[in-house]
Amino acid sequence: MKLIIINGPNLNLLGKREPHIYGATTFEESYTALQNKYPTVDLHYFQSNIEGELIDKLHQVGFDFDGIILNAAAYTHTSVGIGDAVKGIETPVVEVHISNVHAREEFRHVSFIAPNAKGVIAGFGIKSYQLAIESFL
């Protein structure tokens, strides 16, 4: 099972950024824990703050990976381009959010990814990523 976690803008600051919302753990720590928990999963990771780089990565992995776990962060709510990329690739995408976006500001209730995602997991903290892996297994 070949999976990739793709994280969008500002998620490189996890651990430092608004820890009351996003937790005090860096993503690198969480990623290592996931690799240890799922040793048989061929797990990959990519993060970018740049919309076009996220689209390029979706194109690269979107025809031969088994699954994509995508937290497009703020671009979830704004990016027609990322939404179109998710629509155009073959690999199923699970949309993930650390926070419960539906319990926050109204602009976070919109997703350009969800209409073409296999499913959406939001609000379980960093464990949202683990639940997304489980959904593919």
> Of 10 and 116, which has the nearer Cβ to ligand DQA?
10
109 marked as binding residue: no
99 marked as binding residue: yes
30 marked as binding residue: no
The only residue of 26, 41, 45, 108 in contact with ligand DQA, by rule CB under 6 A: 108
Asked whether position 12 contacts ligand DQA by CB under 6 A, the answer is no
Residues in the chain: 137
Total binding residues toward ligand DQA, as defined by CB under 6 A? 10
> Distance between CA atoms of 57 and 76, rounded to whole angstroms?
16
> Distance between CA atoms of 60 and 79, rounded to whole angstroms?
18
Q: By the 8 A CB rule, do 107 and 134 touch? A: no
The only residue of 41, 73, 114, 131 in contact with ligand DQA, by rule CB under 6 A: 73
The only residue of 98, 117, 121, 126 in contact with ligand DQA, by rule CB under 6 A: 98
Q: Which helix (H) or strand (E) holds 134?
A: helix 127-136
Closest separation between CB of residue 63 and ligand DQA, Å?
A: 25
Active-site residues: which are they?
22, 97
- 3 state SS of 100: coil
**Residues 16/11/52/116 CA torsion (nearest 10 deg):** -160
Q: Which residues bind ligand DQA (CB under 6 A)?
A: 10, 71, 73-74, 76, 97-99, 101, 108
